[in-house]
Chains A and B, each alone.
Chain A
């Protein structure tokens, strides 16, 4: 209650206090370096342009701090990538944004339309989805015994209003709504390239197609903000290219995409901004090329090995060509020598423990 109240007060002063407030609370305490606040400032200059803003989110499980004062802003239509080692709190952040977890502190404001803010913290997940925030899961969660079409239909029918009585009586508006739901679902299956799988069971689809089906289901709810949790995990290069094209297409339709991804190539080629989490804190935020050069990121995330540079250059052909060389400089000069490969650094980040700037809790399980 009191939290809601304090938030409302904040929101009331939004127009005036907006640029300074998050910097004062979230940014200053999270950033060890002095550089990052300016980056965050650059992002959210105009509040009317934002689609979502998380302010000072903190999430603790007992003694384990999963998120520690994370602030995040995303502009409308932007593809924002959240990266970070395993256990950095990326999925926890997603779960806070979608209502699966309720952070102990902080607020999330979402603008389905410009000028119409809505507080997400404290809402139940389905009502957040109806507001226009859809998500996919890191470990695919389809409805396995339903067909691909039915899976997407669940999404497309979410906003339909007709009740059981109209269904039982077969009223025309219920039938029409049902047909529309099917049409939209088929369109979405087309969009993700699964038209030929319409009537097959979700569980019988190959892995990559299940991922795309999950995206179609999320899109069925007509989101303004789409959260993709590692959409490229376990997909092959060709599928990754398709996926990148699909995400670009989705963003082109005006849907803002918030992306968790470990594949640096994909991140660098797709994202308009990148946020880096480590130990539940945001350590960098900015355009991909800048983040790549950020010493804090290289230190904490990329593992400071020569391989980091190559991987950052990325396998996806559309990757920014300049990214590789520029980041190669600082990386090759990094401290560790024979050291861990990028993957080790990226995926076993917790194991390194020490170098983390916050020296936060270690050995945390990734949630979700």
Chain B
């Protein structure tokens, strides 16, 4: 006994550890070691940090708990065992448990509006960053300079009285960031019952139905208040991009696959429309002519097929590689469309694709040049797609996607056919994109410019900005970003517009990485991965999005 315990004698905890042993059942099996040190480790309050300590213990030195459980069967030997095996482990683990429990304890912190708390170095630094961003925004939105005096314009912008507005905005934003967490916590504490993170076990709704109806009503009424140009933009930019973003959301948001060539499927849908529904739009055309409505299923299948063909060999790749391959695919499609003069009419694009029209006994309607009818058609389609994807998300398929995102290896081991499900997400996303392509083309004119890399990036930006995995979020994202584009149309030179997009997205990613209207599941994942839990165990984080 003395032999083994000798070396460990000087290290304090081993001593108290042995007398403490008879009380082992009360230690709650946290494996906190026999050390009396931090004590008071509530078994119920085991937090992830502690589990980490336990894991290392489990492999490296599980001896204390086992020794403890030996009881008094063989007193001398077990004593010595505890003395030796217990002490090194207990020193380490007691320390770590102490740290973690200290870190997680709410304690009696000062309220965040307390001056000492408000003006902590970190927050002052944040204030400084805000002010700098404000100054930058003032310069960017200020007068355009000339090459003779490149700095004159910048200086003028800063001394301009407008600067006050930017500084006020900067401070306001800072206050929101500093106090926002507290306010949000207060709101959620008041709004949600303590122990009901989800509504029910069964069919959980995507959101409160009342709110959805209000939003729908707004979407129906809003275009009536705008000018024709605005309505045109709502169809061409917002509506189409909302639909595209909904489709891409399945790929990026649900399945966690970064697709940078998403617009290619949109192009496939558009060119399919031109091919099947018109003899004149492109040099290459079908021997028959179809109503664009009948092209919908064709484009759906063609784009889905293209998705499968592209996905089958590439979905085995992880995150970044997939992004590169899809990027290449998007470029190939656009360049082919741009250069195949004898097939696609090249850069001039397709002209005279017929409008959508219904010819049925009793009903004879054509969607003409007027934007409003198109808008309502798009709105109906978007609502249907949102409902459909909501069901998908809450089904076994959506859960499997979530599982793949969070831990692909565990998902595979639980029997989820990961490759097939990823392919499914890819195909569904592509189909929606192709569908949107038909709508886009049936407005008579399009050219390959619409299928540029920039458009692909823009859809990705809309999805991330709106909120990965959130259907409402991506639609709101499309409204906000395209609305911004429309607002800037007359005010800023076209070349400068992307500066604003960039700034908005950068600010967004810094302060609200989960997006404008995040999905609950995705927000939890982001929170967990920031706490080092989600994906920390896997080969890497979820391929995209989870780590802003």
Interface residues of A (CB under 8 A from B): 86, 98, 100, 124-127, 129-130, 134-135, 137-147, 149-150, 153-155, 157-160, 162, 164, 167-168, 170, 174, 177-179, 181-182, 186, 198-201, 203, 206-208, 210, 217-218, 220-221, 230, 233-240, 262-263, 265, 306-307, 310-311, 313, 315, 338, 341, 343-344, 347, 366
Contact = CB atoms under 8 A, between A and B. Distances in A.
B416 interface: yes
21 contacts: A124-B412, A134-B414, A140-B51, A143-B403, A145-B402, A145-B528, A145-B534, A154-B411, A158-B414, A177-B396, A178-B395, A201-B524, A206-B43, A233-B58, A236-B69, A237-B24, A238-B25, A263-B66, A265-B66, A310-B77, A311-B70
B266 to A, nearest CB: 21
A200 B196 CA distance: 8
B29 A238 contact: yes
Given A129-B412, A203-B48, 9 more contacts: A125-B413, A141-B407, A145-B525, A147-B198, A158-B415, A167-B395, A186-B201, A263-B66, A310-B73
Contacts of B25: 237-238
A308 B372 CA distance: 83
A145 B412 contact: no
B391 A170 contact: yes
**Interface SS of chain B:** helix
A310 B407 CA distance: 40
A207 B50 contact: yes
Given A144-B406, A201-B197, A126 B85 contact: no
A137 to B, nearest CB: 7
Contacts of B74: 310, 313
Contacts of A315: 66, 69-71
B383 to A, nearest CB: 14
Indicate the member of B54, B65, B198 with the most A CB atoms within 10 Å: B65
B57 interface: yes
Contacts of B61: 343, 347
Q: Which 10 A-B pairs have the closest CB atoms?
A: A236-B29, A233-B58, A158-B415, A315-B69, A129-B415, A237-B69, A234-B54, A141-B410, A206-B46, A234-B58
B368 to A, nearest CB: 31
Contacts of B27: 236
Given A167-B391, A234-B58, A347-B60, A98 B413 contact: yes
B365 interface: no
Nearest to B197: A199
B63 A343 contact: yes
B59 A235 contact: no
Contacts of A138: 59
Interface in B360-406: 388, 391-392, 395-397, 399-400, 402-403, 406
Nearest to B43: A206
B84 interface: yes
B242 to A, nearest CB: 19
Contact of B528 (A144, A207, A210, A218): A144
Interface in B157-199: 195-198
Contacts of B28: 236
A201 B399 CA distance: 14
Interface of B: 3-4, 24-25, 27-31, 43-44, 46, 48, 50-51, 54-55, 57-63, 65-66, 68-71, 73-74, 77-78, 81, 84-85, 195-198, 201-202, 388, 391-392, 395-397, 399-400, 402-403, 406-407, 409-419, 424, 428, 521, 524-525, 528, 533-534, 537-538
A293 B524 CA distance: 51
Contact of B3 (A150, A167, A168, A338): A338
A45 to B, nearest CB: 32
Contacts of B66: 263, 265, 311, 315, 343
A331 B74 CA distance: 15
A243 to B, nearest CB: 11
A273 to B, nearest CB: 22
A182 B202 contact: yes
Contacts of B537: 139-141
B410 A207 contact: no
B29 A239 contact: yes
A341 to B, nearest CB: 6
Contacts of A221: 414-415
A125 to B, nearest CB: 4
B397 A167 contact: yes
A237 B29 contact: yes
Contacts of A143: 402-403, 406-407, 410-411
Contact of A236 (B65, B81, B391, B413): B65
Contact of B409 (A141, A144, A199): A141
B534 A199 contact: no
A210 B51 contact: yes
A341 B70 contact: no
Given A144-B534, A237-B25, A265-B66, A207 B46 contact: yes
A100 B413 contact: yes
Contacts of B391: 167-168, 170
Indicate the member of B60, B410, B419 with the most A CB atoms within 10 Å: B410
A155 B77 contact: no
A99 to B, nearest CB: 8
A139 B29 contact: no
A164 B413 contact: no
B380 to A, nearest CB: 16
Contacts of B528: 144-145, 203
Contacts of B409: 100, 141
B59 A233 contact: yes
Given A146-B402, A237-B68, A164 B57 contact: no
Nearest to A222: B415
A345 B461 CA distance: 56
A191 B201 CA distance: 18
A147 B29 contact: no
Contact of B69 (A158, A199, A208, A240): A240
A192 to B, nearest CB: 15
A343 B399 contact: no
B66 to A, nearest CB: 6
B402 A265 contact: no
A54 to B, nearest CB: 18
A149 B201 contact: yes
A109 to B, nearest CB: 20
Contacts of A137: 410, 413
A134 B414 CA distance: 7
Contact of B417 (A126, A162, A338): A126
A157 B43 contact: no
A197 B62 CA distance: 27
B4 A338 contact: yes
A129 B418 CA distance: 13
